[in-house]
Amino acid sequence: MRLNFINIWGNYVSRIIPGELFYPQPTGKITDNLFTICDRGDTNIYLYTDGINTICIDVGYINNNYLKNDFQKIGIDPTSISHIFLTHTDMDHAGALDIDSISDWLNNCIKIYMSKEEENLIKKRQRRRFLFYTPIEISKEYDFLNDGEILYVGNIKIKAIHTPGHTLGHMSYLVDDKFLFTGDLLLLKNGEVKPFYYIWNMNHKLVEESIRKIAKLQNVKVLCTAHSKCSFDFKKAIQKWL
């Protein structure tokens, strides 16, 4: 196992802490267009399709070819995934793209997107947390998205929203103006938005500012988090941040 903060925390430290740290959305269908796969009972990978084009928000852990059965469960052909949008490059979100263990269900992907700031982590120009670097190395070509940038994959509209704090390049994505994917910006607890755990955040103050930023979004139908449930009541969930 590679020496990195998330592996050490997830495999050792967090297991001795009482209570439930993560409670992700189970693998399955969320809406007619939106599906999720829960990787290792820990992290959500989201698939969004218009029936012709399929995009993926984050890709989960290193060596996760075991997810092929999950794709069968949700009725999505992984070879139909053409575009990947990374919220950030922690090993539980970008691990399947790692240079040494790229998962073969991603072989047909045409484009990978992230924020430019996030490249500092995978190029080891910046430490992820404490003394640790991000262990992920991505060999596939990738492109950068700027805050507020909009692109289309077929009929699917994707807006990139820079939401720094968990990492300095963390991105959230608003899809078709209604589906908001927030990665590790926040958690949902009892239906309310809470900042992601302080110990994992590079800048907790920025996390709170980023939550206030997305709180201003209008007409969000579904709020999708990486490590907790989804919410169909964005206004109620985000109310305390307005």
Closest CA to 2 of 66, 87, 43, 62: 62
pLDDT, tens digit, for every residue of 148-204? 999 999 999 999 999 999 999 999 999 999 999 999 999 999 999 999 999 899 999
| Cα-trace Rg, the chain | 16
Q: Which of left, alpha, beta for 121 (phi over 0: left; psi -120 to 50: alpha)?
A: alpha
Alpha carbon distance 208, 170 (integer Å): 13
* pLDDT given for residue 121 in this prediction: 96
pLDDT tens digits, 98-138:
998 889 999 889 999 999 999 999 999 999 988 888 888 99
Q: Which of 187, 196, 182, 180 is nearest to 232 (CA)?
A: 180
| Residue 1 pLDDT greater than 50, yes or no | no
pLDDT tens, 61-108? 988 999 999 999 999 999 999 999 999 999 999 999 999 888 999 988
CA–CA separation, 215 and 237 (whole Å):
9
Angle at alpha carbon of residue 94, lines to 90 and 95, rounded to 5° = 95
Q: Are 174 and 220 in contact (CB under 8 A)?
A: yes
Q: Count of CB atoms within 10 A of residue 119's CB?
A: 16
Report domain extents, the chain.
22-241
* Residue range 214-229: mean pLDDT, rounded: 97
Written as one letter, the residue type at 80 is S
- What class is the 22-241 domain? alpha beta
